Amino acid sequence: MRRTRLLFAIESGADVRLVEGLAERFDLTTLARRIEGGVEISWPPREGGSALRVGPPSRLGFARQVFGEVAGAGGRYDAVVVQNYGPAALAANLAARRRNLPVFMLVCSPVERYYLCRREHAAPGKRFRRAELLALRAFARANARAGRHYLVLSEHLAEVVRGHGGGRLPVSVVPVYGVDTGIFSPATEPRRAVRARLGLPESGALVFFSSRVAPEKDTETLLAAFRALLAEGRDLWLLHRSGAHRAFVRDAQRFGIAGRVVATDAVHPHEGLADDYRASDLCVQASREEGLGFSVLEALACETPVVASATGGLRDVVRDGETGWTYPVGDSDALARAVARALGDRPEAARRAARGRGMVRALYERRLVFDRFQAVIESAARGGSGG
């Protein structure tokens, strides 16, 4: 039986687990905007998974390429998935009208809300410009009029896209790429043994912050809370893995706690990330805004307790008293108290983490979410409600 032919247009970089998951289910062609100084896909996909082409670095130039690819498809594709709701999405939506080709806008983050975080929390290379914010909002509204279907990671993101004025468009909540609970699973050896194997500090409590460094991820509140906990005499270490780990260390130096930070480049999600969660006593996600929050899902799958800000899609995952601890966005004192409670009551932390793993297996397991994704795409490709 012929597999559905899918074009995946990546405007802002994608996780390798998403690309590999799509390649397992579809005859996949991936078209990505070139990311100057970065990577289009977080890690090289396994060979033979899909055809990858890299387009121009400018968003408008890439949108023109997407338009030409979709308008001239000539039966090469059965459906198109385009990232977010920017210029590339608008190009795909307009071009697809000529072919009656189903196009899905895959929304993984609240783009305008992320951008607004730059206004008061600017970072190198991430300055706030009002004209850019207005452009983001204009593209969001234009896609709400021209589009045909949203695919979003969470109910929070469903609310975001409906707020663009696209009330007539169907919205499917599919948390791709999910979590492989075979890879992200509880430890089979003592935590200290995992730390020793990874060369991590074996004394004290280890707190893992695996988010990238960006204005919406709020490293400042995390570092302020960590400084306060260290000032109380607590024996703590902060572990961080990301491509911007050097910037994280510089921030830690400003807060006077760099000596208690272990920071390195990101590790492959299939070849080391799960061990970082297993080695840690706690995972913290301190976001100001969040589409869903895969870090806490991965941590809970490993039965590592979590503390997260009560914002966006994180509220769907981390429920205070049930699957973790929460605190108000930007409140470093509240974050410090939540960390202290989580580390100070190990039986309760284990109970919440175990309940969290059950939630991940029931709602976010990789196979389940890609089954749902495939069903939505193939229904549209056959002329169902998505097309």
| Tens digit of each residue's pLDDT (9 = 90 or more) over 21-50 | 999 999 999 999 999 988 999 998 886 656
Please name the residues in contact with 139: beta carbons below 8 A apart, sequence gap of 6 or more.
Answer: 85, 86, 87, 89, 90
Strand 171-173's sheet: what is its strand order? Answer: 51-55, 27-33, 5-10, 79-83, 103-107, 150-152, 171-173
Q: Where are the domains of the chain?
A: 5-178+366-381, 191-363
Backbone phi, psi, residue 39, to 5° = -130, 150
Residue 384: predicted pLDDT? 46
**Contacting residues for 16 by C-beta, under 8 A, at least 6 apart:** 41, 42, 43, 44, 45, 269
330-366 per-position pLDDT tens digit:
999 999 999 999 999 999 999 999 999 999 999 999 9
Domain 5-178+366-381 has CATH 3.40.640.10: no
The type of residue at 58 is S
What's the rounded Cα separation, in Å, for the pair 354 and 301?
Answer: 8
101 DSSP 8-state letter = -
* Assigned CATH for 191-363: 3.40.50.2000
DSSP code per residue over 239-271: EEESTTHHHHHHHHHHTT-GGGEEEE----TTT
Edge-to-edge strands, sheet with 306-309: 261-264, 236-241, 205-209, 282-285, 306-309, 325-327
For 277-335, the pLDDT digits (tens) are 999 999 999 999 999 999 999 999 999 999 999 999 999 999 999 999 999 999 999 99
Q: In this structure, what token pair is assigned to residue 296?
A: 């806490």
Q: What is the pLDDT of residues 124-161, one digit of tens each?
A: 778 899 999 999 999 999 999 999 999 999 999 999 99
Q: Comparing 5-178+366-381 with 191-363, is the CATH topology the same?
A: yes
CB 381 within 8 A of CB 79: yes
φ and ψ of 282, to 5 deg: -160, 145
Percent of the chain with pLDDT over 90: 88
Tokens of 366: 């990789």
pTM, two decimal places: 0.94
Beta-carbon contacts of residue 108 (< 8 Å; ≥ 6 apart): 83, 84, 152, 153, 157, 291, 292
What's the confidence (pLDDT) of residue 260? 98
